[in-house]
Amino acid sequence: MRFANTSQAIYFFAIGLASWLVPVPPTLVQPAVAQSPNDIHQVLQSVQPKMVKIFGAGGLNRLEAYQTGCLISGDGLILTSWSYVLDSDDVAVMLSDGRRLVAELVGFHPQLEIALLKIDVAEQPFFDLDAAGSANSGTRVLVFSNLYGIATGNEAVSVQRGVVAAKTKLAARRGAMETAYQGPVWILDAITSNPGSAGGAVTDRHGQLIGLVGKELRSSQSNVWLNYAIPVSELGPAIDEVLTGSARSRPATLVTPDEPMSLELLGIVLVPNVLARTPPFIDQIAPDSPAARAGFRPDDLIIEVAGALTPSRNEVTRRLENVDRDSAVTITVQRGQQFIKQTLRVN
Amino acid sequence: MMGIRQCGSAAFAGAAFMIASGVFQGVASGQLAGDLLAARQAEARRIAVIEQASRASCSVFAASGQGGGSGVVISADGLALTNYHVVKPCGMYMHCSMPDGQLYDAVLVGLDPTGDVALIKLLGRDDFPTATLGDSDQVRVGDNCFAVGNPFLLATNFEPTVTWGIVSGVHRYQYPAGTLLEYADCLQTDAAINPGNSGGPLFNDRGELIGINGRASFEKRGRVNVGVGYAISINQIKLFLDHLSSGRIVDHATLGATVGTDHQGRVIVDNILQTSDAYRRGLRYGDEMVSFGGRSIRTVNQFKNVLGIYPKGWRLPLEYRRDGKTTQIEVRLAGVHSAQQLIELVEGRQGDSMPGPRRPPQPDSSKSEKSTIPAAAKKLIEKKSGFANYYFNRIRVSEIWERYAAQGVAGNADQKWRVEARLADQTPVTIVLSQTGSGMQWGEQAAVLDLDLDLSEQVIPLESGGLLPALHLWQRLVTLGPARFGDVYYLGGLPWNGVAGNAHVLTGTFNVVQMQFMFDPVDSQMIGLEMWTDPHRDPCVIHFDNYRSFAGTMFPSVIRVQNGDQFQWELFVDDVTLAQDDP
Amino acid sequence: MVSLRLIVVFTVACVAGRDLPAQTDADSWAESVVQRAVERVTASVVQIETVGGLDRIEGRQVAAGPTTGLVVSEDGYVVTSSFNLSQQPAAVFVKWNANSRYPAEIVARNHSRQVVLLKVETGRATPVPSFLPRAELRVGQSVIAVGKAFDADSPNLSTGILSATNRIWGKAIQTDAKISPHNFGGPLLDLEGNVLGLLVPLSPQQSDVAGSDWYDSGIGFAVPLDELRLDQLSRGQDLHAGLSGIEFRQDRGYASPAIVAACPINSPAGQAGLKPGDNIIRINQASLQRATQVRQILGPLYAGDEVEVVYQRDGKAAELKFQLVAAMPPFRHAMMGIVPGVTSEDKAGVVVRGLIPDSPAARADIRLGDRVIEINGAAVANSLELAERMITLAISESVTVKFVRQDDQPRDVTFELAPLHAEAVELESDETLAGAATEVKLTEIKIPEQPNRCFAFVPSQSAELPRGALLWLGPPGKLDEVASGKRWQPLCEKYNLVVILPESRNPTAWDSSEADFVARVVQQSVRQFDVDPRRVAVGGSVSGGVMASIVAMNYRDLIRGLVLHNSAMSERIKDVKSTAVDRLMVLFVVNKSETARDRRIERHVQQLSNSGFPVHLINQPAATSDSEIPRQRIVHWLDIIDRL
């Protein structure tokens, strides 16, 4: 299902869940004709009315009670980031003209951590996700968000400019991320990781939506705040799932085998684990063990297990836990300046 | 051998460069080559604009070498803008470095602590490179802009840092700390603004000065830019420039009323002082703000944005709605602080006012205070309470007075003036002015001033708000001059009916009466005055028009008198005689 | 061709900078151009992986994740930022793409530019980018920062402009592109993919991770490749910044003249014959007037480089040459053993307000109240001149001092100078020497842009000697100025001392980024309360002490004494050295606890005195509770740290 008839979706969906969702009449709103102005001022004029300021829970111990949202249907469907701000009975939405309206939570998507709100308006300009722009690294972008809640009333939300720095998967990022989302994201060359930015719009130079500003995240190891956005390509299906109520939490991590592989089984003893990041040097090899048969020796440095780099001793054991003890595992060691890659199997 | 290939000369003329460095090894498509040309041209333009504009930027340091910020020179004789919070630790003498690699002495000129603006003067040249002032009301979100300054004080070789970005927001309002450092109607940019950029210029991409960077949202990472910087709009500073040049500590304005948003989202008066001019003009509790200072008001911030950019004493049009009916008034803005409050806020935290008696200066401390001020700077520094640097006020007063005197108006001390005039309805009016005693006769009535009583007690004629005492003090200034009048100083510039630009204002007090004398910005002719016998009442406002020669002296031939909304007089002068005073 | 020529003319006209039309910025970073520029270097930008190593450096977490490097030769030499290897990994790998991992060897380090040279054997020619030398650069030109921290196959990029062409004392160029661990070690490009420099975190303070907390701030640095001396590095030769041993007095900031304040005889400049008082007017053909210009000229040079100095002595110009060195022995101050008092209006010279027991001066029978008027035949007007003279004299150098007692005839004594020590000695009178003050006022100190609260206890100026100042960093969190006031107030009065108590921004911890705030508090207090800059100390208990050590070591020009109560120094402090002009004494006060803390403190005491700092350690009786600060002893120590 796509967006020309969102409101129908909500309508049918509503009948299913009338208990907590206000049914809205199925007015069929056509998206405004997508023209692509080149003058940045025209672009800003065309985008600003599609942006909303969201006010909800928070305000305590340095948690801001505001964030940003994007209108994605003419009758007031709003796409935003799923956060504690929405965890409130009275979430208010302020339109670019200063009108303040009560918002209903339509639903949220646990993986993407996005949410849909509904306000009661008609013929409001909105981002047409069918006509959404695409991007790759180097694409120049504009970012619209109410960071720091600077804009109040009918004041326009803040605009930043940058480029798409890279496309990557959050899971592939350095360090552990405090988020459920593991999918692809745009890393942005603009400082969007700020209070209130979440739910903001990332558009191309022509004002076409290409992504939604994610919540504030930093790598717990490098301490670098991440400026990222969730691509439209990921948003579309997720929004459908929310509207059809099929969005469910799935376990983010892999299921580990009941009987996992272990260093003992392979006949490998590593140097004692003294540091947070002890290098996985082999200390001893059990005679005629799989490791011995593979030709591994003491002082070899394990650098790869099952195709993944093993920066530390802990990482080696963690990787092995994801391998079933009955299946083969490839291990690469460094000896001097050469790599030795072997496939090991327990008997 | 380490084979780093160095490529050919990079002239910044797109085409020339492309050929020279043989980019794309000939495989580039025509489209690409075209894009590169466009990019190189835009780049060359940017380089040229930045090169031109940054010449006027400077860094500001305390003479002890500690601390510091940025600034920008706006006049060839070295007047420069920076932040109040940058110069505050420096005192009245400081050092300024410029991109030409030179270090200049500089002195404080004026302070606007509420607006976080300071005016300083660099010394040693009369041909400083200057910034072109732009029009910040024309700035639109999305415009390119760039900041020049000394972030993290990295410019050890005096080469400034340039950061490029766009305008992220306009007409932003950022709350003050207490009553100081309020950023009203300011610009927001994503050009990197870091500690040390404070006081430095924000330029548009034509190299025009649109703001003074002073503030950024540092909450998140502690004193490191996170994409949100604010600049004081240059248009606000233009309104204050005359005031700042006065060497005073200048004050911002209040309406004497506060506004809030009601449940329908209307901006309404939720508090008003009965002593305020707004109240006297008819504004009341519950009235809805429609427009203020020519801008329509739909949020409290919009109201604060207007109020925050004008100096104390300014007059602004205000439109309010009551019972569906809208009314237009003109209100005079009062000061945010009392004179005493301002002094305490500014000087109270400066070195001058330490607790306890000061130790007599010793060879030791004077030597440890290595910042011995050079003579050239010393003679431009005069301390006086209430002034950032009294020297500049003294100079402005004498400039204005000399040019006024050159109009052939000033008389001498022992003169008696006799003025014969008519009102519009032909009622004859005779006024005699002398510092030994003044009086007037109008129609059937007559009165004289008793100089032994407070002038404020002698409001003659009553409904005029005190025409006679006002003219008496006018004669006092004209015949005695500012030095002998009493406490007279230069206030700055204020709008005045019938003058393009602002009138220069000399203000003075005679016992308890407050006077403001208005001078034409072009020829320094005195074009009017205002007198308050009571700060909470309407002043007696007098316009001097159509100067003519009477008995060889230039004298206004039309004198218009106004008091509040009720009283209006127009005096047509028939004859003036100047006689020796015979007490 | 015609059109091309037209464009040339047009752009040149623009460079001349006459009324320029507003531009929409989009075209200046046309996507196609940026992408093409990045493509040109993609094959030369590599991803760097590490195995093993530390997870904390100088007290902060470091990333284990992949970083970036740049190929600089066809035979597999790769440069990267030393930040990327600061965790000292067991193994380093280089990847050109997702499935080509090569082991890399660390060949050499350029400590001046924070760059590491790696060698990789790939068995094939590695593509090398072309680069532009500094001379070709223009502030405002478009730049692109490239990294491979996310993906070895496709680089990540950030666009910006060149912000400055000469930074960090001539070592780097500066950009407002977003520079961070995502591209440290990668190249900064122009619009055509030419390399302008290698992206590295730098800051005026040198260390492996210095400057990294400015990531993404719009303040980023790159070091030009041709200034890295890759040839020397490739021969396995580490490079260090070059030191001369010349010190200047900078108490007038940038206005301070290039007059040598000190250059120890064992320093290159000293050996070459440069002397305190010499006025440097030219170095390597560049003429100069200000002290900072000397540092600016020497900044980019390396140890081993030859410098040519033209200076003026007694009005005559002379020239000398010497070689810069990598490391200098620490400066050790010499001491006579007098505590200088105030100089009276009418009588020049330095009145002795205290004598260090068993010091050369004491043994030479100089007494309290004597007035020192000459040293080695040259008059000294006041204690500041005497201090300036002392740093030009060496330990065990013999000096002749002329002094006056009451109004007798001046007499000479000659003795050998002893090493300056920091001992908290009891002086003849246990009365305070600074003299007592009467009423003490509580004053709030507000620093612009800073949320922190801060209070000062300021005695009225009754004593004739200027006040000393102690900035004390208590535990983080809410400051009870009244309560702590009660404890300090009597001492403020007795010792005519200003005590300053700042509050931490964050209620749970002092953040090293607050050092700047603390330093500004000290600056403002010295100015506002008329403090004697030679008796300014910063100190603290436990975590406050750690913070105090950061302030003292990073603001040496401000701080003369450091007091650490039950606290070791910050892990961030690396190879600091005592210098002549910025003299610093350290006092440790420890309640014996037989813990790791004590061992670290002992190590630091050793380390500091090896670095030439006068250090004193007071061990409290085991009974004393940790919360109880020996204020009296600390203040007494501070009262005489201006000893000469």
In the structure, what pLDDT confidence band is assigned to residue A3 with cuts at 50, 70 and 90? very low
pLDDT band at A132 (very low <50, low <70, confident <90, very high): confident
Mean pLDDT score of chain B: 88
Binned at pLDDT 50, 70 and 90, residue C476 comes out as confident
Q: Do B10 and C190 touch (CB under 8 A)?
A: yes
On whether the CB atoms of residues C338 and C350 are closer than 8 A, the answer is: yes
Q: Least CB-CB distance to B13: which of C8, C73, C528?
A: C8
Residue closest to C526 by CA, chosen among C595, C470, C582, C481: C470
User: What single string gives the DSSP state of each residue in B94-125?
Assistant: EEEE-TTS-EEEEEEEEEETTTTEEEEEE-S-
Q: B194 — contact with chain A (CB < 8 Å)? A: no
- Alpha-carbon distances of B419 from B200, B438, B582, rounded to whole Å: 55, 11, 17
Residues of B forming the active site: 85, 116, 198
Give bridge partners of residue A213 from the DSSP assignment. Answer: A229
CB pair distance less than 8 Å for B359 and C461 = yes
Angle CA B182–B187–B193, to nearest 5: 90
When pLDDT is cut at 50, 70 and 90, the band that residue C14 belongs to is: very low
- Confidence at C19, pLDDT banded by 50, 70, 90: very low
> Does B66 lie at the interface with C, CB-CB under 8 angstroms?
yes
pLDDT score of B484 more than 60: yes
Which chain C residues contact residue B195 at CB under 8 A? 449, 516
Count Cα atoms within 13 angstroms, Cβ side, for B138: 11
Q: Is residue B282 predicted with pLDDT exceeding 70?
A: yes
pLDDT digit string (tens) for C249-280? 988 889 999 999 999 888 999 999 999 999 99
Interface B:C, Cβ pairs < 8 A:
337
Q: DSSP letters along C406-419, please?
A: TTS--EEEEEEPEE
Which residues lie closer than 8 Å to A22 by C-beta, 6 or more apart? A14, A104, A118
Cα separation, C496 vs C491, whole angstroms: 8
Tokens 């690699």 — which residue? B101
CB contact under 8 A, B7 and C8: no
Predicted local distance difference test score (pLDDT) of residue C36: 93
Taking the Cβ of residue B217 and every Cβ of chain A, the question of whether any pair is shorter than 8 Å is answered with yes
First to last CA, chain B: 104
| The pair of three-digit structure tokens given for residue B287, joined into one six-digit string | 């009235």
Question: Using the beta-carbon criterion (under 8 Å), do C63 and A310 form an inter-chain contact?
Answer: no
Check if C91 contacts A (Cβ < 8 Å). yes
How many whole angstroms separate alpha carbon B289 and alpha carbon B303?
8
Write down the pTM of the prediction. Answer: 0.90
Reply yes or no: is the peptide bond before residue B583 cis, omega within 30 of 0: no
Average pLDDT value for residue range A210-219:
86
For residue A173, give how far its alpha carbon lies from the nearest alpha carbon of chain B (Å): 21
Does C156 contact A312 at a Cβ distance shorter than 8 Å? no
Average pLDDT in chain C: 88
Contact B262, B269 (CB under 8 A): no
The whole-angstrom distance between residue B208's C-alpha and the CA centroid of its chain comes to 19
pLDDT score for A38: 63
- What are the backbone angles phi and psi of residue B309, rounded to the nearest 5°? -105, 0
DSSP string of B267-310?
Answer: EEEEEE-TTSHHHHTT--TTPEEEEETTEE--SHHHHHHHHTTS
Whether A139 and C156 lie within 8 Å, measured CB to CB: no
Please report which confidence band the pLDDT of residue B26 belongs to, taking 50, 70 and 90 as the band edges.
very low
Q: Is B447 on the interface with C (CB under 8 A)?
A: no
Q: Are C539 and C564 in contact (CB under 8 A)?
A: yes
Cβ–Cβ of A40/C24 closer than 8 Å?
yes
Q: Please give, rounded to a whole number of angstroms, the shortest distance from the CA of A306 to a CA of chain C.
A: 14
Sign of CA dihedral C422, C424, C427, C429: positive
Q: How far is A127 from chain B (nearest CA, A)?
A: 20
Q: What is the mean pLDDT of residues A46-64?
A: 83
Cβ within 8 Å of residue A204, ≥6 positions away: A133, A135, A139, A140, A141, A142, A210
Nearest CA in chain A to C507: A61
Please report where in the chains the tokens 């005689």 appear, as a residue: B577
The residue in chain B having the minimum alpha-carbon distance to the alpha carbon of residue C72 is B4
Nearest to C154 among A166, A220, A276 (CB): A166
**Amino acid identity, residue A250?**
R
Q: Structure tokens of C627?
A: 């919360």
Q: What is the mean pLDDT of residues C614-625?
A: 84
Q: What are the residues whose beta carbons fall under 8 Å from the beta carbon of A253, sequence distance 6 or more? A: none
Structure tokens at C72: 């600089």
Contacts of B67 in chain C (CB under 8 A): 520, 523
Q: What's the confidence (pLDDT) of residue A83?
A: 87
The answer to whether the Cα torsion of C169, C173, C177, C179 is positive or negative is: negative
Rounded to the nearest angstrom, the gap between the alpha carbon of residue C561 and the centroid of all alpha carbons in its chain is 16
Are the beta carbons of B15 and C5 separated by less than 8 Å? yes
| pLDDT the model gives residue A316 | 93
Sign of CA dihedral B278, B279, B283, B284: positive
Contact partners of C by the rule of 3+ C-beta pairs under 8 A? Answer: A, B
**Listed ranges A62-76, B33-47, B157-171, B458-472; the one with the highest mean pLDDT:** B157-171
Q: Please, what is the average pLDDT of chain A?
A: 82
Angle at B235 between CA B233 and CA B241, to 5 degrees: 110
Can you give the pLDDT at residue C8? 34
Give the relative orientation of helices C31-42 and B30-54 as an angle to the nearest 10 degrees.
Answer: 100
Cα–Cα distance, C536 to C585 (Å, whole number)? 11
Nearest-Cα distance to chain B for A194, in Å, is: 7
| Per-residue model confidence (pLDDT) at position A28 | 36
C-alpha angle C71-C74-C77 in degrees, rounded to nearest 5: 45
Chain B residues with beta carbon closer than 8 angstroms to that of C25: 42, 144, 166, 205
- Beta-sheet strands, E only, within C170-289: 172-175, 187-189, 195-200, 220-223, 247-248, 260-262, 279-283, 286-287
Between C205 and C406, name the one with better pLDDT. Answer: C406
What is the C-alpha separation between A162 and C26, in angstroms, rounded?
10
- Check if A218 contacts B (Cβ < 8 Å): no
Instruction: Please say whether the beta carbons of A86 and A41 come within 8 A.
Output: no
- Identify the band that residue A112 occupies on the pLDDT scale cut at 50, 70 and 90: confident
Residue B444 CA to residue C313 CA, distance in Å, equals 90
d(C-alpha C436, C-alpha B80), whole Å:
45
Burial class (CB in 10 A: 0-12, 13-18, 19+), B357: exposed
* Of C361 and A176, more confident: C361
Kindly report the number of other CB atoms within 10 A of residue B25's CB atom: 7
**Hey, what amino acid is at C102?**
Y
Rounded to a whole number of angstroms, the CA Rg of chain C reads 28
Q: Is the pLDDT of residue C538 over 50?
A: yes
Report which listed range, A62-71, B73-82, B551-560, C449-458, is most confident.
Answer: B73-82
- How many angstroms separate the CA atoms of A215 and A179, rounded? 9
Contact B349 C33 (CB under 8 A): no
Element (H, E) at C515: helix C515-528
User: Are the Cβ atoms of B10 and C136 closer than 8 angstroms?
Assistant: yes
Residues B498, B504, B509, B510, CA torsion sign? negative
Q: Quick check: C410 contacting A, CB < 8 Å?
A: no
Q: Which of A165-169, A320-324, B218-222 has the lowest mean pLDDT?
A: B218-222
Alpha-carbon separation of residue C468 from A101, C400, C497, C587 (angstroms): 61, 30, 5, 16
| B88 lies within 8 A of chain C by CB | yes
Distance of CA A199 to the CA centre of its chain: 12
The better pLDDT of the pair C489, B395 is held by: B395
Rounded Cα gap, residues A44 and A161, in angstroms: 12
Q: Quote the CA–CA distance of A321 and A302 in Å, as a whole number.
A: 16
**Per-residue model confidence (pLDDT) at position C431:** 54
- Cα gap B216→A308, rounded to integer Å: 43
The first and second tokens of residue C322, run together, are 């010497």
Interchain CB contacts (distance < 8 Å): A and C: 142
Number of Cβ within 10 Å of residue C415's Cβ equals 19
Q: How many CB atoms lie within 10 A of CB B272?
A: 19
Q: Which of A44, A154, A191 sits opposite B298 (nearest CB)?
A: A154
Contacts of A among chains (3+ CB pairs under 8 A): B, C
Q: What is the ipTM score, two decimals? A: 0.89
CB-based contacts of A315: which residues, under 8 Å, 6+ apart?
A280, A305, A308, A309
Look at residue C460 in the predicted model and tell me its pLDDT.
Answer: 78
User: Which residue in B232, B250, B274 sits closest to B337, CA to CA?
Assistant: B250
- Where is pLDDT greater, at B342 or C60? B342
The per-residue pLDDT for range A133-189, each reduced to its tens digit, is 788 889 999 999 999 999 988 899 999 999 999 998 875 443 444 566 778 899 999
| Cα distance between residue C607 and residue A55, in whole Å | 55
Interface test with B, best of C162, C190, C195, C254 (most B CBs within 10 A): C254
Give the residue-averaged pLDDT of C188-192. 96
Euclidean distance between CA atoms B25 and B144, whole angstroms: 33
Residue C69: strand, helix, or coil: strand
Cβ-contact B333, C353 below 8 angstroms: no
For an interface test with C, the pick among B116, B144, B154, B349 (most C C-beta atoms closer than 10 Å) comes out as B154
Question: What tokens appear for B454 in the block?
Answer: 């407070």
Reduce the secondary structure of B401-440 to three states and give it as a string. Answer: HHHHHCCCCCCCCCEEEEEEEECCCCCEEEEEECCCCCEE
Subunits with 3+ Cβ pairs within 8 Å of B are A, C
